[in-house]
Amino acid sequence: MARKKEPQEGKKKVQNANVEGLHAQVLDQKITDTLEVNYMPYAMSVIVSRAIPEIDGFKPAHRKLLYTMYKMGLLNGGRTKSANIVGQTMRLNPHGDAAIYETMVRLSKGYEALLHPFVDSKGNFGKFFSRDMSYAASRYTEAKLAPICGELFRDIDSDTVDFTDNYDSTMKEPTLLPTTFPNVLVSANTGIAVGMASNICSFNLEEVCRTEMAYLSDQDCDIASTLTAPDFPTGGEIIYDAAALREVYETGRGSIKIRARWRYVKGENLIEIYEIPYTTTVEAIMDKVAELVKNGRAREISDMRDETDLNGLKLTIDLKRGADPDKLMARLFKQTPLQDAFACNFNVLIAGTPKVMGIREILSEWTAWRMECIRRRVFCELGKKKERLHLLRGLGKILLDIDKAIKIIRETEEESAVVPNLMIGFGIDETQAEFVADIRLRNINKEYILKRLEDIDKLEAEIADLEDVLASRRRIKSIIKSELETVIKKYGAPRKSQIVYVQDTAEEGEEEAAEDYAVTVFFSKGGYLKKITPQSLRMSGEQKYKEGDGPLLSYESTNNAGLLVFTDRFQCYKAHLYDFQDTKASALGTYLPTALKMDQGENAIFIMDPGDYSGNVLFMFENGKAAKVELAGYETKTNRKKLTGAYSDKSALVGIVPLKEDTELAVYTSDGRAIVLSTSLLAPKATKSTQGVAVVTAKRNRKTVGIMPLEKTQIKDAARYRVRTIPSAGALLRDDDREEQQMSMLD
């Protein structure tokens, strides 16, 4: 038995040694090496080979799918099952059938995500404007290439673009598609890479082509005169802002406002919304409207339903008697995604390098790339014609003595010697001799040869013309213009998104206030908020909190009161109490980081009622400094919901105290001392991020640990700790003045 165990024990020792060696390797590897070897290649792959579109307007996944469909003969043929297309595409795209089919769905006519879809689909492909209307499985749907794809593949067999091996080197695929129009601006594209993203809005095809033609004639042309504004597949109304559009056109970054289109049906007293912003969905709109109705902020609405059918999108809002549809829609535009903004980020891969560009720079890059495509096409055609001319000139030499050619062929004993003998006999090269040797016997006559020779003059003229094209930028630009004219004639379509000028938009009325009533607000250390009515509070028992959580502060207020929420990321979120539902003491309440859509890992640490934004708020920091900031600095005319730099980030925050008027505060330090000071010693600051002035005398290992209004402390002899000037070291706390409760308002 012992002999049998020895190999097992030996094996275990080897395994343990291997594990220890593996741990040693992991522990010894530097984080910089890990990033360089593992993370950087991944990040580069995502940026270059997946998420960012290139100058042809496509990502690699789009290009692989469309090229596969082209090779399957789906440009001119009938439809085939989507599952068949997905399977064939996996020869180029190894990322799985689900990802390939999702790519096809986005490019399809049925999904309605593009102004000019590239996939002519049949069956249920879902809808871009709905998050719940999902597409059918690939085995149920059919597809082929849309006619506009002819503009993508017209020159692909003329050496216009480079080809590369697929992932297993069994076939070739194009690195770009030779689009005859600036598809990068026509097809909307969104991608999130590592450390960067791309968000390109779509423009009307005819407007883009006209702008490119104007650019070819004059690089300093006024782009805004031909490219009016973006054009979205879902329609809607673009609120024209000349300054915002100019920023987008010049820098490639900016925001464009879009709102829904609607009509009022007077006889039925209802509103029909039939086009929505490209950036939202039907469900998001209905959820927000339902929330407004529930909170009493849209009392004119009796019902809302989705009546989308085969005729297109339609959301219906039933109105109560006497409701003003214009005023209601003005408020809904302000409070719901019925009006939204498209954040532009024109990030495009240029020669493998991501670059954020304005419209003029994109047109410049596309023009240079397209001119190179034209040159390559002309050069390819020129090579074929020169080769043909070379063969015909060899044939012309045979014309001088056809009998001699026949005699040479007849008297040659070996087949392999026919071509060399013809080369010697007529002074022609091997290519010409091969061409002559391959002529059928019935064509070795003067008539056939003379007809072929008639093409020589024509070929020479065509070659001269092609060489002139290669040498002339003007002629290449002329070819591009003629192709753009053809595209406009075949595929041009009216704008889907209407343009509304700012002065023509209805003034947004004041928000209708929700019902106002008394409430008591409770805020916990864990970031939960409760809003409880007096009646519910009287009937309630003990306040319930999550395990490990507890009360931080509470105050009486009203339902219409404002709310400032400070976080541990030096930010402040603005809201109203009517944004939150009434609750009971037995409930946990509303988790503010989720309700206010805070950043990942951000926590709420303090709340307050700003009132009319008079008075101040005091921030006490661990380094002994205090900042008295004017509340007016948190009032925003643009009704922003999030304020960055709400307080200083130079030192850890110890406490926040709202100040409607000057009062006395008690400050506690880590070495057992206390200071009682009047806030009148601190001058108010207009800058929110100020670090303030020193209250506690700086000393090594001394930190400020708490701050509270004097009347809320256990200090009996305030005169012992009161100071007239700051900074001060304070006085040692007596036992009967020490706090039993937590001194910091933020712990």
Q: In the Cβ-directed half-sphere of 147, how many Cα atoms lie within 13 Å?
A: 4
Beta strands 498-501 and 237-240 are parallel
C-alpha dihedral sign at 210, 211, 215, 216:
negative
E strand or H helix at 185, and its extent?
helix 183-186
Question: Ramachandran region of residue 454, left (φ > 0), alpha (ψ -120 to 50) or beta?
Answer: alpha
Would you place residue 6 in the very low, low, confident or very high pLDDT band (cuts 50, 70, 90)?
very low
Structure tokens that stand for 528 in this block: 């939960």
Number of H helices, E strands in the chain: 21, 33
For the question of residue 249 being annotated catalytic, the response is no
Tokens 């910089």 correspond to 32
Which residue in the list 140, 167, 501, 517 is annotated as catalytic? Answer: 140
556 token code pair: 């009486």
Decide which of 391 and 65 is more confident: 65
pLDDT score of 508: 46
Q: Across residues 58-65, what is the average pLDDT?
A: 96
Model pLDDT, residue 639: 66
Does the pLDDT at position 17 exceed 50? no
Phi, psi of 3 (to 5 degrees): -65, -35
Higher pLDDT, residue 31 or 342: 342
Identify the pLDDT of residue 310. Answer: 86
- The Cα angle at residue 691 between residues 685 and 692, in degrees rounded to 5: 50
DSSP 3-state of 552:
strand
Confidence of residue 37 (pLDDT cuts 50, 70, 90): confident
pLDDT band at 290; cut points 50, 70, 90: very high
User: What is the residue type of 716?
Assistant: K
- Apex 218 CA angle, 213 and 222, nearest 5: 85
Q: End-to-end CA distance of the chain, in Å?
A: 64
More confidently predicted of 382 and 450: 382
Backbone CA torsion sign across 311, 314, 320, 326: negative
Task: Say which DSSP state 442 is in.
Answer: G
Which strand ranges, in their side-by-side order, compose the sheet holding 551-558? 551-558, 518-524, 528-532, 590-591
Q: Mean of the pLDDT values across residues 142-148?
A: 97
pLDDT of residue 5 exceeding 70, the answer is no
Q: Answer for the pair 378, 469: CB distance below 8 angstroms, yes or no.
A: yes
pLDDT in tens, 353-406: 999 999 999 999 999 999 999 999 999 999 999 999 998 888 888 877 888 888
For residue 209, give the nearest of 529, 600, 610, 488 by alpha carbon: 488
Nearest CA-CA partner of 244 in 261, 259, 229: 229
Question: If 0-12 CB within 10 Å is exposed, 13-18 middle and 19+ buried, where does residue 175 land?
Answer: middle
Alpha-helical regions (H) of 324-429: 325-335, 359-399, 402-411, 418-426
The secondary structure of 59-125 as a DSSP string is -HHHHHHHHHHHHTTTTTS--EEHHHHHHHHTTT-TT-HHHHHHHHHHHBTTTT-SSS-SEEEES--
User: CB of 545 within 8 A of CB of 503?
Assistant: no
Q: DSSP secondary structure string, 33-59?
A: HHIIIIIHHHHHHHIIIIIS-BTTS--
pLDDT of residue 606 exceeding 90: yes
- Using the Cα atoms of residue 422, residue 426, residue 430 and residue 433 in order, give the sign of their dihedral: negative
Mean pLDDT value across residues 269-279: 95
pLDDT of 46 above 90: no
On the question of pLDDT at 54 being above 90, the answer is yes
Given a cut of 50, whether residue 10 has pLDDT beyond it is no
Q: How confident is the model at residue 502 (pLDDT cuts 50, 70, 90)?
A: low
With CA atoms as reference, report the closest residue to 53 among 343, 480, 365: 365
- Average pLDDT along the chain: 88
Could you give the CA distance from residue 149 to residue 491 in angstroms, rounded to a whole number? 11
CA separation, residue 617 to residues 614, 652, 660, 704 (Å): 10, 17, 8, 18
Q: What is the pLDDT of residue 178?
A: 95
The residue among 508, 501, 497 whose CA lies nearest residue 326 is 508
Residue 741 has pLDDT above 50, yes or no: no
pLDDT at 124 over 60: yes
**Worst-scoring range by mean pLDDT, 14-23, 163-172, 186-195?**
14-23
Q: Which residues pair with 658 in a beta bridge?
A: 617
- What is the mean predicted confidence (pLDDT) over 593-619? 91
Q: What is the largest CA-CA distance in the chain?
A: 133
β-pairing, 572-576 with 642-643?
antiparallel
222 and 232 Cβ atoms separated by less than 8 Å? no
Average pLDDT over every residue of 614-621: 93
Q: What's the confidence (pLDDT) of residue 299?
A: 85
| Phi (first) and psi of residue 233, to 5 degrees | -60, -30
The predicted pLDDT at position 543 comes to 87
Question: Is the confidence at residue 8, as pLDDT, over 80?
Answer: no
Segment among 295-309, 500-514, 535-549 with least mean pLDDT: 500-514
DSSP code for 733: P
Residue 29 pLDDT:
74
Q: What percent of the chain has pLDDT over 90?
A: 60
Q: What is the C-alpha to C-alpha distance for residues 495 and 228, in angstroms, rounded to an integer?
A: 10
Q: Calculate what percentage of the chain has a pLDDT beyond 70.
A: 93
CA distances from 719 to 84, 332, 666, 705, 707 (A): 88, 57, 12, 21, 17
- Angstrom distance (rounded) from CA 339 to CA 288: 12
340 has pLDDT over 90: yes
pLDDT at 745 over 70: no
The Cα–Cα gap between 568 and 147 comes to 56
For the stretch 662-688, pLDDT in tens is 999 999 999 889 999 999 999 999 889
**Quick one: pLDDT band at residue 504, thresholds 50, 70, 90?**
low
Q: Residue 379's pLDDT is what? A: 95
- Distance between CA atoms of residues 381 and 246, nearest Å: 42
pLDDT at 7: 47
φ/ψ of residue 204, rounded to 5:
-60, 135
Q: Cα–Cα distance between 234 and 308 in angstroms, integer? A: 13
Which DSSP letter does residue 469 get? H
Answer yes or no: are the C-beta atoms of 552 and 523 closer than 8 Å.
Answer: yes
Per-residue pLDDT of 75-122, as tens digits, reads 998 999 999 999 999 999 988 899 999 999 999 999 999 999 999 999
User: What is the pLDDT at residue 716?
Assistant: 86
| Cα distance between residue 586 and residue 710, in whole Å | 32
Q: Which of 26-30, 226-230, 329-333 shows the lowest per-residue confidence on average (mean pLDDT)? A: 26-30
Peptide bond into 53 cis (omega under 30): no
Predicted pLDDT at 514 = 64
pLDDT of the residue at 201: 96
Contact 224/243 with Cβ under 8 angstroms? no
Of the candidate ranges 13-22, 147-156, 589-598, the one whose mean pLDDT is the lowest: 13-22
Burial class (CB in 10 A: 0-12, 13-18, 19+), 414: exposed
**Strand, coil or helix: 233:** coil
